[in-house]
Structure 1
Amino acid sequence: MTKISQIGGEQALIKRIQKAIKTSKDEVILGIGDDAAIIKPPKNKNKNIAITTDMLVENNHFSLSTHTAEQIGKKSAVANISDMAAIAATPKHMLISLAIPKDTTVEFIDRLYKGITKETGKHNINIIGGDITGSPSGALTINIVILGETSKEIRRSGAKPGDCLMVTGDLGKSAAGLHTLQHNPKTSKKTAEILKKAHLEPSHRLKESQTLKKLNCITSMNDISDGLATETKEICEASKVGAIIYKQKIPTTHATDELLKAIKKDTKETALYGGEDFELLFTAKKQDTKKIIDTLKKHTGTTATIIGKITKEKQIYLIDKTKKTRLKKTGYDHFKENPFDYKK
């Protein structure tokens, strides 16, 4: 293993990264290596620029005892691309900033970037710069900024009373995977592998987002990074509405169900509060839901499920069979106690 100091330090590492990164000359005027990057404006003058940023911190978002460098790179890219998917924007350019411990090896950084570039390569996202510094605390930190384009963004604020509340895919799998990694509960080998992969190598729903956008009937949208409860609250607050969630309709997989049954936890509660599923939560009029479900399945292979409805009353309720309770808890919060956490 090679120390960064052995290849010449920070500047040598930047040059090494620069050589490994390819950018589109049609879109990037000046990329990695200068004090600032220069990109060309959108060719379509009707498009606006979308910007998002997300930070991953060791022992908050990942653990080096469970994640490989490549998996950390992938997760950091996915988290940011998912934010672009949440507003139906197209990601175009990426800036990556790292705070790295002094004992980090060159090979680790190579593998970290490999995980990132595998994701950016799939979607023609240009890596155009960033920053590298030491981490006095010893915690590896990755901060990514993505610049994208959009002409018809889907915001959180468009939900209307009577709209159906819908999600893509299934929920709770990442939180179940984290528990599996930490506690190695008694489940089948196949279940353990499915759940671990969901947490270590998550996927975003960018393709699904673009498909939904083309239907021109989605009234609001969010990505599920901090749990269904939190993201529902965000849509309701932005739209100045309330919601009802039907607990039994929240989609979960057999693997998640098996794990949660083994550890005697509520599968649907995990789906509500676990986080890092990176599915899409969105709203639409009832008459459009069949078209949405059929189109998503046909063009992306992804399922969509109606899990509730938007209400005029500005409260969120959970209906479990015949029991109706006000949803007071939210999902993952970095400054509160969480049901699934690396520190536990």
Structure 2
Amino acid sequence: MPSGKFSSITTDAFVENVHFSLQYFSFSDIGAKSLSAAISDIAAIGGIPSVAVLSLFIREGIKKSEINELYKSVKETAKKYWVNIVGGDIVKAEELAIVFTIVGEIDKSNITLRSGAQVGDIIFVTGNLGGAYTGRLVLERGLEINAFGFQDIAKKHLRPEARVDESQKLIKNLKINSMIDISDGLSTDLLHIAEESRVSVQIEASRIPISEETKRAASLFKLGPIETALRSGEEYELLFTVSPKETEKIKQLDLKIPVTPIGKITSKEEKNVIIFPDGTKKPLIPTGYVHIA
């Protein structure tokens, strides 16, 4: 490892009927999403992914052509993010699953952890939220995606983007105090930052970026858009905090996607809250994915 660099490593599992369903996932989708999700972990700490190994668990009924389709998608996704697949294993199992281990590198001066948020920091998020959750509902219910105009949220669930380029632009141009990718949901991942930084968070409901497509889908399923955005996991957007003096620099970056301030970091003695447009304050509780109930 070159001087001034750290190695970064992550592992991520993608399991049938936990993370995906063959009712609406193609094997190509499985390959793309499983690798992108693992790469997102490296992006979230400011790293650049370099190599990957995978373990593929195959159950009865899976065809060789389907395995080939999955592998082809993995190779295409790896090429997109400049990642080399350097090895792996394949095993017969009771469930279909794919597990990636990704190794990357990061400048020691650029490492961004979830534990560095400072009182007074402004909380930012990339992209729009809620699409992954509503996209899953659309797919589970077998709605006609094109007829309803739900192409973007379906894609958000099936083939999310890892924000590697965006992460690099942010850390090279700003002093990022803390960062995490939204894999468990906005509310849950905000509280991860709060807990590990020993601070509290205050966010404004009206500032949470939600696309019109997500709002339409939420309405169709009789869900509130804010509650949907708070719970929606597998978004893989970047959630980060910077000091107020850094905020003007964000406007000058050409990230190609929205970057929205949604709140601020407060002292540990204060409560984690979400403020609604009428001024009502409610406790911010984790409503996203629970790994172990």
TM-score normalised over the length of structure 2: 0.95
Q: What is the match of residue 37 of structure 2? A: 79
Following superposition, the deviation at residue 317 of structure 1 comes to 0.6
* Residues 195 and 255 in structure 1, CA contact (< 8 A), matched pair in contact too: yes
Q: What is the match of residue 221 of structure 1? A: 179
Q: What is the match of residue 23 of structure 2? A: 65
From 97, 119, 123, the counterpart of 1:141: 97
Q: Does 1:310 align with 2:268?
A: no
Task: Note the 1:1-344 alignment, pairs <5 A.
Answer: 42=1, 44-135=2-93, 137=94, 139-151=95-107, 152-184=110-142, 189=147, 191-295=149-253, 298=254, 300-313=255-268, 315-321=271-277, 322-336=279-293
**How far apart are the structure 1 equivalents of 2:115 and 2:251?**
22
Following superposition, the deviation at residue 262 of structure 1 comes to 2.0
3-state secondary structure, aligned to 1:218: coil
Which one-letter code corresponds to 2:247 in the other structure? Answer: T
Following superposition, the deviation at residue 198 of structure 1 comes to 1.3
Following superposition, the deviation at residue 188 of structure 1 comes to 6.9
Following superposition, the deviation at residue 183 of structure 1 comes to 2.0
Deviations 1:236-275 (A, max 9, x none): 1111100001111100101001111222211111111111
3-state secondary structure, aligned to 2:251: helix
**How far apart are the structure 2 equivalents of 1:190 and 1:81?**
31
Q: Which moved more, 1:110-119 or 1:183-192?
A: 183-192
Which one-letter code corresponds to 1:312 in the other structure? Answer: S
Q: Runs of 4 or more off by more than 3 Å in structure 1?
A: 184-188
Q: Which moved more, 1:223-232 or 1:194-203?
A: 194-203
Q: Which moved more, 1:320-329 or 1:183-192?
A: 183-192
Following superposition, the deviation at residue 196 of structure 1 comes to 1.3
CA separation of 1:123 and 1:188: change in aligned 2, threshold 3 A: closer
Deviations 1:2-24 (A, max 9, x none): xxxxxxxxxxxxxxxxxxxxxxx
Following superposition, the deviation at residue 48 of structure 1 comes to 1.0
* Residues 174 and 249 in structure 2, CA contact (< 8 A), matched pair in contact too: no
3-state secondary structure, aligned to 2:149: helix
TM-score normalised over the length of structure 1: 0.81
Deviations 1:272-328 (A, max 9, x none): 111111100000011211211331xx2x31110000000003531111121101112
Number of residue pairs the alignment of both structures matches: 289
**How far apart are the structure 2 equivalents of 1:190 and 1:45?**
53
Following superposition, the deviation at residue 128 of structure 1 comes to 1.1
Please list every run of 5 or more consecutive structure 1 residues that lacks an aligned counterpart in the other structure: 1-41, 337-344
* Residues 5 and 106 in structure 2, CA contact (< 8 A), matched pair in contact too: yes
* Residues 171 and 251 in structure 1, CA contact (< 8 A), matched pair in contact too: yes
Give the fraction of aligned pairs with identical amino acids, expressed as a percent. Answer: 39
* Residues 15 and 98 in structure 2, CA contact (< 8 A), matched pair in contact too: yes
**How far apart are the structure 2 equivalents of 1:184 and 1:107?**
25
Following superposition, the deviation at residue 205 of structure 1 comes to 0.6
Q: Which moved more, 1:211-220 or 1:70-79?
A: 211-220
Q: What is the match of residue 341 of structure 1? A: none
Please list every run of 5 or more consecutive structure 2 residues that lacks an aligned counterpart in the other structure: none
Q: Which moved more, 1:322-331 or 1:252-261?
A: 322-331
| RMSD, matched Cα | 1.5
**How far apart are the structure 1 equivalents of 2:221 and 2:115?**
38
